[in-house]
Structure 1
């Protein structure tokens, strides 16, 4: 079985958590995998920690990190027939998480799978609310959650049919999930595969994240943003945040939700407008979104 499964992990300055992520991975019931780590310019102890575990390491400069392209490069060097993706800040919460994730692939019930992500104990109220919606404990996730790579798997043959896209800097998993759905592949959500993963983004980090999601959606969904849609989404998210924070009696979070959701939707608008302009002009330059993210990370 050795080499049949390749786990691909991407890292950069993950020393604060990568030890937990790798310990969780190597504590799994399933150990018949190789680990391929792609590091994009870590300056902390990330690689020192990673070298304590059996893995192959690929190092690239930070400015060469484009998610879709990096994943495609890593898969080309992977030996496995089954590809597992684990972010360096994702911690498996049970020793059967990998086993559960792989089961639908090995029994022929799915072409790709993704896990249920639980927020960290220190996650903000709005983060916990969003994760509860995106990753339910049973049943199916919302329709907009097409695929999520922090802990996911797919058959190599599925990737060969459609490698990760490289048109924009982010949302490569979302694009792949939408393609799979249109092309008739089966992507299964596996709530029994439990991992811990979340971010309490600063406003600067949130701006970068949402900017590249907006740019990517212009390519993935091929839609257009409008002022009424922007205002509707802004007001709707404020209302949902207010309800969640009031239920939690989180007054500071309620106050902060006003600037946070403004940044959240304004950055998405700006990124989407960039994506629309790039589509119209035929531009292949994805570096603007990359700079927005890296400058705010």
Structure 2
């Protein structure tokens, strides 16, 4: 197998509570040629100190995570870029499987993303919601890619901080790049409480309009999604959480309504100001 240096870029803001778990999971990767770059948005909770303890290269940059990730890509040394967040646990074979796909001739790789269902009712609903997206080809986005592909399409659109991953993915596909999928996955380890859900929906709702104007993509705006009604998904959900479909759809309707309020009123609620527990 080819041996490329993989640059893992992590944007953070007040992520000290979870970043250590993310960095420990990267330390345990089966593929060893990895550098970790943490681009911190001026945290006040000691996030940079946590990153340095794990040997990451640490930079300060803002104002939003798209700008942070673009900066991280510019200072990266690797030929392969992998973007993740400071509140994810990354299973040990993620980087190795990404490299294997790129060695097979793929230019970018979708890494499955799920939630931790043990974090509460909201997190459980998010876990089953995200399960429905796996393999859909619609609600998934490449997080690992060749460096040359990333810069060829211009990196992340810094006018976006909502749906920026889908925007990047669409431009990767439009460029003619080959996109592959792996089996190893990431787990969101700091999922929402209901309060978090409302604050984040307000915050991202302000920017969702910019994504919609750019792509006119109703599938990404609809709160009730076709993947919720596939026979395979409903069978799996019904055998493990019979009432789950109501919670999943109810949660999406709440997100849709609150995001709409944020978009219309332009509210400036920032869920990342709480220094006790926040990750980007």
The bucket for the TM-score relative to the shorter chain is 0.7 to 0.9
State how far apart, in whole Å, the 1-side matches of 2:203 and 2:239 are.
Answer: 26
CA offset at residue 3 of structure 1?
A: 8.0
CA RMSD of aligned residues (A): 3.5
- For 1:1-297, what aligned pairs fall within 5 Å after superposition? 4-60=5-61, 64-93=62-91, 95-108=92-105, 110-123=106-119, 124=121, 125-135=124-134, 141-148=135-142, 152-162=143-153, 163-190=155-182, 192-197=183-188, 199-202=191-194, 203-208=197-202, 210-212=204-206, 214-222=208-216, 233=222, 248=241, 258=250, 260-270=251-261, 291-294=268-271
Report the alpha carbon displacement of residue 171 of structure 1 after superposing the two structures with TM: 1.8
Total equivalences in the alignment: 258
Distance 2:19 2:185 in 1: 17
Who is 1:278 aligned against? none
Judge conservation of contact 2:128–2:248 (CA < 8 Å) in 1.
no
Shift in alpha-carbon separation, 1:216–1:126, aligned structure 2, 3 A: farther
Residues 66 and 4 (structure 1), Cα distance of their counterparts in 2 relative to 1, 3 Å cut:
same
Task: Note if contact 1:28-1:98 (Cα within 8 Å) is conserved in structure 2.
Answer: yes
- TM-score (norm: length of structure 1): 0.73
Shift of 1:80: 1.2
Q: Residue by residue, what CA displacement relative to the aligned partner does 1:54-89 show, whole Å, maximum 9, x if unpaired?
A: 2210123xxx32222222122111111111112111
Structure 1 regions of 5+ residues with no counterpart?
A: 136-140, 275-287
Task: Report deviation, 1:270.
Answer: 4.9
Bigger relative contact order, structure 1 or 2 (CA pairs below 8 A, ≥6 apart): 2
CA contact (8 A) 2:110 2:140 kept: no
Q: In the alignment, is the contact (CA less than 8 A) between 1:112 and 1:154 conserved in 2?
A: yes
